[in-house]
């Protein structure tokens, strides 16, 4: 029925800390206030143990789908419709397992680029007679095999992100790592940079796979399963250049026009995003600075061990003591290196991912406002009777449905994202704190053991001198 929102496929809608599976929080939880104070962010961002109810993301009826509407792709085939049914005796399990690995460099006469291998495994499950009759071999009927292997470059990931944003303008799409290298960081195609990007791309795809709506997107399926020539052909099926330019011009015009009256809940949401963006960017800068200082401390400490070994060669009476000091320094270096590894692999990527998320959220709010601005412009035209009133009335009815579904999708995804963000940041900082405590305890135990042995040695020597 036109204008009717309906719930999408039943499945787990949450991500765990770091991007696995979990539960989706409630869609009716209060949003942060609009006071703009730091206390607001602390209450909302740092309240990490608040329980919230499950929710459903509502999607638009297929009859209202177009390139600028909220139009998640709903399954229509019998195979895909199986995914909408959640049997009571079936556990709530992850059904797509995606791995991004084996980066490979390609050099052509025009450019040099990196491709990544993507392996997708679809979970098999207990098959009912109906599933067997339909020939379904996995828990996701739209996949005709249980395993796929393709290679993709960064531009392919960028294409997928853009298509997801077009199909689901008010859902929070996971961010991609930056395309360009920040000056002074690392060189392009540096091994460390490639590995960092690989991990970010791996998380990007798994975030989508675990999303209750995005995981069923047709472009996502094509991205995971199509060979290179098939993907290239599929890309050409999208809107042409002139169509995209027209959409861009209209979006800019609506953005400049602005929204006359944004609902209060979205005003509060926008205030939260602005404060969150400021805070997470500050945390990112501080974390990067801490890592840099740790690196400088580690590089300096590494030089002390060899110095004490050389010193022991010229001090016969102190040789054992100096060698003991060198051994302690070496152990502390190893503990510091492990702590730095935890900081660079566990904390920094999580914080930076949410810096990128803050930018994505601003884009989502902008697209929501564009949809509402389009409705406002039609209502204004109807009021002034500048066009055919019957046609405008029909368009306004469709736009009202479109705005309602877009708002429902954003509110539901917002609560889900916020819960995931709280879990991720809590886990990252907790793990870092535990790693720091463990590292310091190791260093303390090393030096205490050395000092105890030296004290015992001096006491023994003093006892021998007395005797």
- pLDDT tens, position by position, for the chain (467 residues)? 444 454 444 454 444 444 444 444 444 444 444 444 444 444 444 444 444 444 333 333 433 344 344 444 444 444 444 444 443 344 456 788 999 999 998 888 888 889 999 999 987 654 444 454 555 555 677 777 888 999 999 999 999 999 999 999 999 999 999 876 544 444 566 888 888 899 999 999 999 999 999 999 999 999 999 888 888 888 887 665 445 555 555 555 555 555 677 788 999 999 999 999 999 999 999 999 999 999 999 999 999 999 999 998 888 888 889 999 999 999 999 999 999 988 888 899 999 999 999 999 999 999 998 888 888 777 776 666 655 677 767 777 888 888 888 899 999 999 999 999 999 999 999 999 999 999 999 999 999 999 998 888 888 777 777 76
Helix axes 154-167, 191-209, angle to 10 degrees: 30
In the structure encoding, which two tokens stand for residue 359, read together? 């930018």
Sequence spans of domains, the chain: 96-239, 267-465
Pairing of strands 112-122, 96-107: antiparallel
Q: Phi and psi at residue 100, in whole multiples of 5°?
A: -110, 120
**Which helix or strand (DSSP H or E) is residue 419 part of?**
helix 389-466
Q: C-alpha dihedral over 157, 207, 200, 365, to 10 degrees? A: 70
pLDDT at residue 188, rounded to an integer: 62
CATH class of domain segment(s) 267-465: mainly alpha
Report the Cα 254 to chain-centroid distance in Å. 29
Q: Is there a contact between 337 and 298 (Cβ–Cβ < 8 Å)?
A: yes
Q: Is there a contact between 409 and 377 (Cβ–Cβ < 8 Å)?
A: no
pLDDT at residue 5, rounded to an integer: 52
Match 């200082």 to its residue by tokens: 293
Q: Is there a contact between 370 and 254 (Cβ–Cβ < 8 Å)?
A: yes
In the structure encoding, which two tokens stand for residue 90, read together? 């079936």
pLDDT at residue 175, rounded to an integer: 94
The pairs formed by 103-109 with CB atoms below 8 angstroms and a separation of 24 or more are 103/194, 103/195, 103/198, 104/151, 105/189, 106/153
Model pTM score? 0.71
Q: How many CA atoms lie within 13 A of 31 on its CB side?
A: 23
Going by the DSSP 8-state scheme, the letter that residue 109 receives in this structure is S
Pairing of strands 96-107, 147-153: unpaired
Q: Is there a contact between 212 and 12 (Cβ–Cβ < 8 Å)?
A: yes
Superfamily the domain 96-239 falls into? Phox-like domain (3.30.1520.10)
Helix axes 264-314, 38-45, angle to 10 degrees: 80
Q: Is there a contact between 105 and 189 (Cβ–Cβ < 8 Å)?
A: yes
**Residue 177 CB neighbours (<10 A):** 19
Q: How far apart are CA 330 and CA 309, in angstroms?
A: 11
Going by the DSSP 8-state scheme, the letter that residue 96 receives in this structure is E
């Amino acid at each position: 029925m036109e204008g009717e929102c309906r719930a999408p496929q039943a499945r787990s809608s949450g991500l765990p800390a770091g991007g696995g599976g979990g539960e989706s929080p409630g869609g009716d939880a209060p949003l942060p206030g609009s006071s703009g104070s730091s206390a607001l962010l602390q209450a909302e961002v740092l309240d990490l143990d608040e329980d919230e109810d499950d929710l459903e993301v509502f999607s638009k009826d297929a009859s209202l789908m177009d390139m600028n509407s909220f139009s998640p792709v709903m399954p229509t085939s019998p195979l895909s419709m199986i995914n909408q049914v959640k049997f009571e005796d079936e556990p709530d399990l992850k059904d797509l397992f995606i791995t991004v690995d084996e980066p490979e460099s390609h050099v052509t006469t025009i450019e040099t680029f990196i491709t990544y291998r993507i392996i997708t495994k679809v979970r098999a499950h207990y098959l009912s007679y109906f599933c067997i009759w339909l020939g379904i071999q996995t828990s996701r009927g739209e996949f005709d095999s249980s395993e796929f292997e393709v290679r993709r470059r960064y531009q392919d990931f960028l294409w997928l992100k853009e298509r997801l944003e077009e199909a689901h303008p008010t859902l929070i799409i996971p961010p991609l790592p930056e395309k360009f290298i920040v000056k002074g960081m690392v060189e392009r195609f540096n091994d460390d940079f490639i590995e960092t990007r690989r991990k970010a791309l791996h998380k990007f795809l798994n975030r989508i796979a675990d999303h209750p709506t995005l995981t069923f997107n047709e472009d996502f399926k094509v991205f995971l399963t199509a060979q290179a020539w098939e993907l290239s052909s599929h890309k050409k099926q999208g809107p042409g250049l002139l169509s995209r330019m027209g959409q861009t011009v209209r979006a800019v015009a609506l953005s400049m026009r602005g929204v006359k009256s944004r609902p209060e809940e979205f005003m509060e949401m926008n205030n939260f995003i602005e404060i969150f963006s400021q805070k997470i960017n500050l945390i990112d800068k501080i974390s990067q600075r801490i890592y840099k200082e740790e690196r400088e401390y580690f590089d300096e400490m590494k030089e002390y061990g060899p110095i004490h070994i050389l010193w022991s060669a010229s001090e016969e009476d102190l040789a054992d003591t100096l060698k003991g000091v060198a051994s302690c320094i070496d152990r502390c270096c190893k503990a510091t290196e492990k702590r730095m590894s935890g900081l660079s692999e566990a904390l920094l990527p999580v914080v930076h991912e949410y810096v990128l998320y803050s930018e994505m959220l601003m884009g989502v709010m902008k697209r929501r406002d564009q949809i509402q601005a389009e409705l406002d412009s039609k209502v204004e035209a109807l009021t002034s009777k500048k066009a055919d009133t019957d046609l405008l009335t029909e368009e306004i009815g469709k736009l009202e449905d479109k705005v309602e579904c877009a708002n429902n999708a954003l509110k539901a995804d917002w609560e889900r994202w916020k819960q995931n963000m709280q879990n991720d940041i809590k886990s990252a900082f907790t793990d870092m704190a535990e790693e720091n405590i463990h590292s310091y305890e190791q260093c303390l135990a090393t030096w205490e053991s050395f000092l105890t042995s030296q004290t015992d040695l001096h006491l023994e020597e003093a006892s021998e001198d007395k005797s």
